[in-house]
Amino acid sequence: MAVRTASAVIDVSVIVPVFNKGRYLSELLDSLRRQTSDSFEVWLIDDGSTDGSATLCDQAAASDARFHVIHQENSGWPGRPRNVGIEASTGRFLFFADADDWCEPTLLADLVAFADGHRSDVVLPAVLSEGHTYTTREPVLENAVDVDPREAFLTLTPHKLFRRSYFDGLGLRFTEEKVPLEDGQLVARAYVGGGRISRCGERIGYHYMGREGTNISYEPRDPSAHGNSVATIMDSARRLPEHADEIIVDLYRRKLLRYLGPRYLPDMPADLQSGYVDATADVAARFIPMELESTLTPWPRLSSRTARLRQPGISVALAQARADDLVPAERSNGHWFIGPVPADDIVVVRPKVRKDPTRGVRVVSRPEWVRISAPRLEYHIEGRVVAADTDLRPRGRLGGEARAVACWDDLEVPVTYDGEPVVVNRLRYSADDQGQLIVTGV
């Protein structure tokens, strides 16, 4: 393994773990060759590639003295390659890039100049996320000498400039085991280490492609390990007591509750559904008291509340309701309105609502619904709802089919169990001028 020497001081060392990135690696290498900085080096750590990536690394090192390559047996995770690069490199600053991303020409020069000018220990570039299958935040295109910790924790990827003396002083190294979010754990420790966290972001500097299936650490997640990693990051956030609650609840929403949403949970195998529900419940028990949970917006709050029940079927039903564009409701003046949900009680139903010119509004459906009264589950059944009203007319227009999530208020609805009705009553549905659905008991 190469070791640091006492040769001429280099401003920044770029560390790149490489594993089977032959399709994309050339784009990164070309972008690094075009850097305007006159003082940088690139360390390519080949983690046992088998697709020709190793040859591309060798060619880069042979043709450009700024590029160096180390070949090692496959470790299966990016932590060890990055650590090997840290030990081999000599720069005053460290920058971590992924082999399938690319950089704008002024990236390194801009970051180093900003860090030197403001004595920054960590500098966040303006990152443009591309290639993701989910919606990402727009990059923040402005400089900040001191970034608010709550904003810093929104980005936990390692694509940042770190002052080596600060990095080494905190004893920062990447976890080398196959641990989800190992880079986020390190970045979180850097954020809470007492240094100056800045952003050099007047223009896009780094393009994060996020191609699924190309990262060393990309594989089906282990829910328990994922939850433990999120908890480790939350433990770091606790070292910032002024902002800890806001950071922790946001991490909970972004790193755990998202997997209980309609994009992920309904299509997971049953074992992963159960695993993610349990992992979320475990983290909630440690870090999310009820008063903190209540600050979440309605859907994440309901996902959290149902996860605490540790019954995956309920969480899946809620995710499917969300996928069907159903919306939570709240009570006002005796009516249920579309909007936020009371923290303790919900019932999910899927009524199909149609206007009947002779009978007002008629509702006929066979919904799956659940009543949740924290902290225990009371009902989870399939029922048939028939509600009709001969006196009330919609106050607004109600056309086609409407769907809603109605909340529970000791409200009896017709249901069947083994083919026999067990409760009989009626609901009234009407629509206001904005087309919102109003639900009242008869």
- Residue 217 domain flag: no
For position 141, what pLDDT does the model report?
Answer: 78
Which helix (H) or strand (E) segment is 282 a member of? helix 270-287
How many domains does the structure of the chain reveal? 3
- Residue 221 domain flag: no
Q: Which amino acid is at 318?
A: L
Domain final position from 291, 321, 351: 321
- Residue 143 domain flag: yes
pLDDT in tens, 77-123: 999 999 999 999 999 999 999 999 999 999 999 999 999 999 999 99
- Residue 220 domain flag: no
- Residue 2 domain flag: no
Burial class (CB in 10 A: 0-12, 13-18, 19+), 10: middle
Domain final position from 321, 346, 371: 321
270 and 400 fall within a common domain: no
72 and 168 fall within a common domain: yes
pLDDT in tens, 177-218: 999 999 999 999 999 999 999 999 989 999 998 765 444 444
346 and 424 fall within a common domain: yes
- Residue 213 domain flag: no
Domain span at 304:
226-321
- Residue 251 domain flag: yes
Bridge partner residues of 26 (DSSP)? none
434 and 376 fall within a common domain: yes
The fraction of the chain above a pLDDT of 70, given in percent, is 67
**In angstroms, how far apart are the furthest CA atoms of the chain?**
91
In the three-class reduction of DSSP (H, G, I as helix; E, B as strand; rest coil), residue 94 is classed as strand
265 and 317 fall within a common domain: yes
What DSSP state is assigned to residue 92?
S
- Residue 219 domain flag: no
195 and 237 fall within a common domain: no
Q: What is the pTM assigned to this prediction?
A: 0.75
76 and 183 fall within a common domain: yes
